A and B are shown apart, each in its own frame.
Chain A
């Protein structure tokens, strides 16, 4: 597609449930980033991939959060045993090359609400 696509756009779940959020980056982009944005705050870095491997996962808050990118394209962010504090908008972004150093191209985000 022309831009970064994220699904679902909205997800409501109950505390303790498992959630998967999907990101389809711009075709050919090798770097993919996940951010989390709480209301009224800036995006908070979670993890980024160069190809299939996680180059930096220092922003993942705890071991309930995990992300994969098995074929170097689509990525899935997985959250186990969701908590109310996980409620946020999860943003995905991609960039053309490793070491690009330039702008990130963002999707519209997946809004997660944990009841």
Chain B
């Protein structure tokens, strides 16, 4: 079963615009991670945010975490056509356990 929901399921934007996607999860977490998947490929790790962090940046990526609402958001600024992919959040209940993935947001960036 999936750990949580992602919103929106699909997002279509133009190059240069920002893309925001949201993730909710069900149980308490040690950390939450975001992954990217190009069509027909494996998943690539983007960023990890720990349960005691509220915001984290990496290049054009900004992640927020609200543990009281059990939710996270991923913002991609100044999007590029190469950002076209599916994006998944994954929660980890503790440092030893499995990652539980959401259903993903499919992002299409048109030139």
Contact = CB atoms under 8 A, between A and B. Distances in A.
Q: Range of interface residues on chain B?
A: 20 to 34
Interface in B25-66: 30-31, 33, 35, 41-45, 48
B25 to A, nearest CB: 12
B99 interface: yes
Q: How large is the interface on A (under 10, 10 to 19, 20 to 34, 35 or more residues)?
A: 20 to 34
B101 A42 contact: yes
Contacts of A45: 98-101
Contact of A44 (B1, B94, B95): B1
B97 interface: yes
Contacts of A104: 43, 45, 99
B86 to A, nearest CB: 9
Which 8 pairs, one residue from A and one from B, show the smallest C-beta to C-beta distance? A101-B95, A42-B101, A103-B45, A106-B42, A106-B43, A108-B42, A43-B101, A42-B103
Interface of B: 1-2, 6, 30-31, 33, 35, 41-45, 48, 88, 92, 94-104
